[in-house]
Structure 1
Amino acid sequence: MPAPASYTVKEEPFGVARRVRIVVIGAGASGINMVRALRLQVQDSFELDVYEKNRDVGGTWHENRYPGCRCDIPSHNYQFSWRPKHDWTNFFSPAEEISAYLGQICDEEGMRDSVIKTDHQVLSALWDEVQGRWLLTVANLQTGEHFDDSADFLIDATGILNNWKWPDLPGLHDFEGDLVHSARWPRPADFTLKNKTVAVIGNGSSGVQIVPAIYPQVKKLVHVVRTPTWVLPSRTKILAMGPAADVVNSIELDDDDNFSPEQIARFQTDPTFYRKFVKAIEKEISAGFSMVLRDSPEQVSATEQLRQYMAAMLNGDERLCKTLIPTFALGCRRMTPAPAYLQTLTKSNVQVVAEGIRRVVPRGIELTNGTMIEVDAIVCATGFDVSFCPRFPLVGRNGNLQDLWRNSIPQAYMSCAVPGLPNYFTFLGPNGPIGHGSTFTLTEHIATYIAGVIRKCQTEGIKAIVPSQAAVDDYSEHIRAFMPRTAWGSSCSSWYKSTSNGNETVTALHPGSRIHFIHMLEKFRGEDYEYVYEADGSEKGLASCRNRFYYLGNGFSTKELDPDSDAAWYLDSAALTAGVDDSDANHKMGSIIRPQL
């Protein structure tokens, strides 16, 4: 049967990649991973700009420099698998060291000069259906200039724990003393807490690090605790008692978890031992999911042990135990290792306040019971805007996502794509694995997934791709059905949840384990997406074409025309067994797992 006269064969071989322009927002760990994944999978067929609002790269680890700030994931697992660092100084890296690690990678990979534009902030993004492009407004924060830009693909790598906010307290900014936020800590030259009475508001992951870090400096410390929280012992001690005990107990550490010079030297010179160490800890961290399953034997046992630990660290003080040890399920709120935190609260010049704050007055705080507490400084360790609402107007087919998500439960497809927003992807969006161990390696898999989708669009004539509303509805239904079996879905006040029409829904966590998430992203489910195809030869300039197979071209393949590729790759036994493309381009991907598209 002859082809319709209106259809024209594309006079290019199958596999030619359309050149696209990509804009990434944010140069933290996610943005850096995205640059690398694009270079590996999209190769030379793209143009890229990364807009970073800060003066330097690093994201969270550039912004957060409060006293005691460090990661509570072991250093050698809080790094990129493709860029191992053998000379971490501490089992749990301080913020400055993580920031320097990210900056060094940007320098060595040529990212800082070629694609990353610091002091640049995206102000708005509008999807143009006819062009199949995002129209952007960007601010140069150094010059104050605003300019227009556009992109075929827009990737949001700004992160969830990045948009800090002041607590909603009447009179907060009338306070006449020092007022600081944990995510905007002043330079030492501009600020001191020495011999001052200091109030620290909040006992989340920042608050429990700040309290013991500043205690030696202050005259008196007033710690305002809104709700109890589960406080873990140092993860070094936990790991030393689990399946990784043999490896962990062989590591030379001082009392502050610093590696000895000899230990660092062994990491640098013994790759077999180094790999064994990293993988043993990774496996144990990944295996912790069973502990957040409600009423599981692991949770019951861990709850009792942790209750005893906290009581012991609080010297059995009845009031402190009642104030600080939760009655809600272990894991309902983020569990935080906090060495020395509980012990600090037992000191004579530390006052733990469980009452709410009615208002802030010029010289201190007034509690809901009427008590006035005079302080010289207030430290707000009160967290971030975790609503998932974009920080700028993001206008797609269904309107402004800011408005849509402000009045409803945020929903996404596998945490990284949103219905109504074609050619838009995000890292750690709604129901992402934000509480599932190291985000560094998780963002590697997200970046690889996104880059694979872009490559598919480039080589298969797809102008616009977006998850269907039906797919997202089904995925969200699964999440709602699954979460009640976890501690995350139990009753407590937690930033893991969003509230709409009086209903609480877990929106910050993936419905499964860390391995479950990585496994889920290994394969691209094309049936869950909707497509707009490029115009074929008979329809130049139109929004779409009639034939989805226009990309098949003139009958030849780039695999046989490229002199540098193996035109008989399909005879490779490893490729046949794995069912993957074994071309030279894929060999260059190193440790990244490429989704099967």
Structure 2
Amino acid sequence: MTVPEVKKNEQQEHAANWVPINEVPVYTPRKTTIVCAGAGYGGLMLAYKIQEELKCEDLIELIILEKNDHVGGTWYENHYAGAACDVPAHIYTFMFEPNPDWSSFYVGSREILEYITRTTKKYNLDKNVQFSRKITKVAWDNDTGKWHVSATDLTNSSTVGYEADVFVDASGVLNKWEFPKIKGINDFKGHLVHSVSWDDDHSYAGERVAVIGNGSSAIQIMPVIAKEASYVANLIRNPTWVSTGYAAHLSRTGRNFKYTEEEKRRFREDPAHFLEYRHRMEHEFNKFFYALFNDSPEQQAVHEQFTEIMRQRLNYDEELCARLIPDWKVGCRRLTPGDNYLECFASGQAELVTQPIDHIGEHSIVLTDGREIEVDAIIAATGFDVSYLPKWQTSGRKGASLEKLWADVPTAYFSVCAPEMPNYFIVNGPNCPIGHGSLLSVMKWTIDYAVAWTQKLAREDIKSFVPSAGAVADYNEYTQEFLKRTVWTSGCVSWYKKQGRVTAMYGGSILHYKQILDNIRGEDFEIEYRSPNRFRFMGNGLTNAEVEGGDLATYINK
């Protein structure tokens, strides 16, 4: 059925919000384009959402720009000795692709990359990925309601341009790295490597090696290098909690273990059993949040548990215990599970060095007390730039620069939207629940939220949406007040904080986060429409069912 058009009086004067009738059914979407930065877990989740879950490629064009020549993100880039995920493998998967064939309770980076690669191939998730494209500039054009994205083609150094209705930053937080700013580091004549730029061909057999840092990477690297090298020194600034692996109480050994072929066969052939196993694991994993409240019974319990575990692994050496067991609350900094790290010191395989570094010479590290440690290799496991500043130049509404807005303290809207950046989403942005619970679940819910907004934009004739300054301010103020209850404000030095504010953690559990993101909350946004009348999407007064001859009584049911 069609509705006849009404002849218009050319001489008639119209109100400022007058628009001609839009001759389409109500909520008819326009085609939109999403440009996404990154083909790691987040970008590939977005591809699956559009291609497989919604099957809406005819309405949403997706372009994923990936700086590397392969999918996988951090699991492609990080392949240092001992690189692994400290979250149980069965809850570190795409929700749509559980993997019954994980080899172990915790698995290494190469096995994770193989899984990501296999899943990508199975669902053709990389068909819209353009590899070796490094984004250099993202600029908003308010006249057209589009993002103009510039990228460098790393294969030939040419500049490539893109236009998008929506931009999604799924590039991740932990990938911008540089060597530590230590005097003389560039003068070192031996083997110098950062954990992210690992040289797989270099052998440390018989070498004298210095490992700088005691974060997750260093703790995984140390036991491997200690087996090869003739001498290993671990230079650290502060102690850290070396805990059991996440959800280790669900492991039958308390540590990592290999699944038997019989166990994997049952996972494959008994879906109900496999689902129950993964469900229980995720349920137990999410309960750790309660231990992150100051002085809660759960906090006291993990403090006592981890203290005893560290003392055992240090063979109750009181000097080592005093130097390596923190006096701040468990979880204030990121937990760093690691089998056999502490044992390196207890067994004499490695030396613990807590004296600060003064400078680095051609063949040695010189400490502030004058001691000189001769080394053949230096491994900098010193982390990343965690400022949340974008990896490209941004120009948002009215020329606003995200680099300048976030120069001091990054403030986002529920971690997913940035101030003054219309139609812009971030996966794992500021104040995201990344210190507890399943991060991949959080990433999926973020993608769901971004796609829901994209659909709203397309169906309701919206040009742009951006969180209001008031909403951003209110959210961050409330968040900081809640975070005072947690260990993240208890006094330790941590990348979770900047200028006294907790910038990395969400003010609630991940289930709380999901419930929030299940609602768009359009009232928190400034919305600009493509016409003077916000109700132009009402169209010609008909629905698709009426135009296409469908069921006109769907509301009559049992």
Q: Give TM-score scaled by structure 1 length.
A: 0.88
Give the partner amino acid of 1:214.
Answer: I
Alignment correspondent of 1:399? 400
Q: 1:103 to 1:572 in 2, by over 3 A?
A: farther
> In the alignment, residue 50 of structure 1 is paired with which amino acid?
I
From 97, 106, 124, the equivalent of 1:92 is 106
Structure 1 residues 157 and 569 mapped into 2: Cα distance closer, same or farther (>3 Å)?
Answer: farther
Question: Does residue 1:141 correspond to 2:154, yes or no?
Answer: yes
Relative distance call for 1:84 and 1:307 in structure 2 (3 A) is: same
Alignment of 1:78-227 (within 5 A): 78-112=92-126, 114-188=127-201, 191-227=202-238
- Identify if the C-alpha distance between structure 1 residues 121 and 566 changes in structure 2 by more than 3 Å, giving closer, same or farther: farther
CA shift digits 1:257-279 (9 cap, x unpaired): 11111111111111111111100
Alpha-carbon distance between aligned partners in 2 of 1:204 and 1:566, rounded to the nearest angstrom? 60
Deviation of 1:236 (Å): 6.0
1:254 and 1:260 in contact (8 A); partners too: no
Map 1:325-344 → 2, pairs under 5 A: 325-344=325-344
1:256-335 superposed matches below 5 A: 256-335=256-335
- Partners of 2:551 and 2:480 lie apart in 1 by 47
Code of the aligned partner of 1:74: P
Deviation at 1:225, TM superposition (A): 1.4
Deviation of 1:318 after TM superposition, in Å, equals: 2.1
**1:311 match: secondary structure:** helix
Q: CA deviation at 1:558?
A: 2.0
Say whether the 8 Å CA contact 1:73–1:437 is kept in structure 2: no
- Contact 2:184/2:361, CA 8 A, preserved across alignment: yes
CA separation of 1:448/1:359 partners in 2, compared to 1, >3 Å: closer, same or farther?
A: same
What's 2:5 paired with? none
Query: How far apart are 1:46 and its partner, in Å?
Result: 2.0
Q: What does residue 459 of structure 1 align with?
A: 459
Shift of 1:238: 2.3
Q: Distance in 1 between matches of 2:20 and 2:255?
A: 73
User: Does the 8 Å CA contact 2:255/2:339 hold for their aligned counterparts?
Assistant: no
Match of residue 437 from structure 2 = 437
Aligned to 1:525: 521
User: Deviation digits for residues 222-280 of structure 1, max 9, x if unmatched?
Assistant: 0011111111124464235xxxxxxxx4xxx8985111111111111111111111000
What are the superposed Cα offsets for residues 258-304 of structure 1, whole Å, 9 maximum, x if unpaired?
11111111111111111111000100001111101000011012111
For residues 75-133 of structure 1, the C-alpha deviation after alignment (integer angstroms, 9 at most, x for no partner) is 11000111111101111121011111111222122222x20011111110111111111
Q: 1:170 Cα deviation (Å)?
A: 1.1
1:29 aligned partner, one-letter code = Y
Matched, 1:356 2:356: yes
Q: Distance in 1 between matches of 2:552 and 2:207?
A: 73
Q: Among residues 19, 31, 43, which one is paired with 1:31 in the alignment?
A: 43
Give the aligned CA root-mean-square deviation in angstroms.
1.8
The answer to whether the 8 A contact 2:247-2:284 is kept is no
Q: Does 1:64 align with 2:60?
A: no
Structure 1 residue 520: deviation in Å? 1.2
- 1:19, CA displacement in angstroms? 0.8
Contact 1:133–1:151 (Cα < 8 Å) also in 2:
yes
Asked if 2 retains the 8 angstrom alpha-carbon contact of 1:171 and 1:359, the reply is yes
Partner of 1:587: none
In structure 1, the residue corresponding to 2:136 is in which secondary structure?
strand
On the 8 A contact 1:10/1:551 being kept in 2, the answer is yes
In the alignment, structure 1 residue 475 sits paired with structure 2 residue 475? yes
SS of the aligned residue for 1:34 comes to helix
- 1:385 alignment partner in structure 2: 385
The 2-side partners of 1:195 and 1:474 are apart by 57
Offset, 1:307: 1.0
Q: CA deviation at 1:560?
A: 4.0
For 1:293, the aligned partner's letter is: F
Confirm or deny: 8 A CA contact 2:40 2:171 kept in the other structure. Answer: yes
Letter in 1 for 2:232: L
Please identify, of 431-440 and 526-535, the stretch whose mean Cα deviation from structure 2 is larger: 431-440
Partner of 2:346, secondary structure, is coil
Question: Are 2:550 and 1:549 aligned?
Answer: no
SS of structure 2 residue aligned to 1:410: coil
Does structure 1 retain, via aligned residues, the 8 Å contact 2:210–2:234? Answer: yes
- Number of matched pairs: 542
Alpha carbons 1:431, 1:509 under 8 Å: kept: yes
Q: Deviations over 1:57-79 (max 9, x none)?
A: 10010000011111111111000
C-alpha contact (below 8 Å) 2:288/2:437 kept by paired residues? no
Q: Which runs of 5+ in 1 are unaligned?
A: 241-248, 536-544, 574-597
Task: Provide the rounded CA distance (Å) in 2 between the counterparts of 1:130 and 1:396.
Answer: 12
The answer to which of 373-382 and 346-355 deviates more is 346-355
Q: 384-393 or 436-445, which moves further after superposition? A: 436-445
1:581 is aligned to none
Among all aligned residue pairs of Structure 1 and Structure 2, give the percentage whose two residues are the same amino acid. 37
Residue 562 (structure 1) shift:
4.7
Q: Specify the alignment match of 2:23 in structure 1.
A: 11
Could you say what secondary structure the match of 1:275 adopts? helix
Partner SS, residue 425 of structure 2: strand
Quick one: structure 1 residues 326 and 180, their matched pair in 2 at CA, closer, same or farther if it must change by over 3 Å?
same
